[in-house]
């Protein structure tokens, strides 16, 4: 979908997601909208081991907590900063940066004693938090102060089958 060309607002796409938002997953007859919904669907549909979405109550709750953080704080922090500085959207980039640093400070402390966010192994919580964290630099947010986040990102990137999103250069500033 070419977002800059507005393809997400065209009839064909709106039939899949009437809100005109990405991402959308089409898997056979199933059409799933929303990043977190897609992650839950994929884990329930294709992971018989329950690694990606644990069934044990405390681990399941921890995954849900991080999915909530991904849908809220991650979006209002690093994702919004990226929209402001990379794409020039009319959002408060400074406020988004402050939110991102608060989030990253908390994550860095959390990851100081563990490898993964929600369990003793990778889960969909890690996937949900990964991209906007890994691409924080595109929102002019350095991860230099967060060594445990940097280590976590390296762990994510070393997973079998990892396929990253290309980094985009920041536009020149006046």
**Phi (first) and psi of residue 26, to 5 degrees:** -110, 120
**Phi (first) and psi of residue 115, to 5 degrees:** -90, -40
Cα distance between residue 52 and residue 122, in whole Å: 7
Residues linked to residue 30 through DSSP beta bridges, in sequence order: 27
Q: Spell out the per-residue pLDDT of the chain, length 174, in tens.
A: 787 788 889 999 999 998 988 899 999 999 999 999 999 999 999 999 999 999 999 999 999 999 999 999 999 999 999 999 988 889 999 999 999 999 999 999 999 999 999 999 999 999 999 999 999 999 999 999 999 999 999 999 999 999 988 888 777 664
pLDDT for 173 equals 60
Cα distance between residue 163 and residue 11, in whole Å: 30
């Amino acid at each position: 979908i070419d977002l800059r060309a507005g393809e997400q607002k065209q009839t064909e796409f709106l039939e899949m997601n009437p809100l005109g938002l990405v991402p959308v997953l089409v898997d056979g007859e199933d059409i799933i909208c929303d990043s977190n919904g897609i992650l839950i669907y994929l884990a329930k549909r294709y992971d018989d081991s329950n690694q990606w979405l644990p069934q044990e109550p405390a681990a399941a709750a921890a995954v849900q907590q991080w999915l909530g953080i991904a849908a809220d704080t991650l979006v209002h922090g690093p994702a919004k900063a990226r929209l402001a500085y990379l794409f020039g959207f009319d959002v408060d980039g400074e406020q988004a940066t402050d939110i991102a640093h608060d989030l990253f400070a908390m994550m860095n402390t959390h990851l100081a004693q563990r490898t993964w966010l929600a369990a003793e192994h990778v889960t969909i919580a890690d996937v949900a938090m990964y991209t906007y964290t890994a691409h924080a630099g595109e929102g002019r947010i350095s991860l230099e102060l967060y060594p445990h986040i940097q280590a976590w990102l390296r762990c994510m990137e070393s997973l079998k089958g990892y396929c990253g999103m290309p980094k985009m250069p920041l536009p020149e500033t006046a």
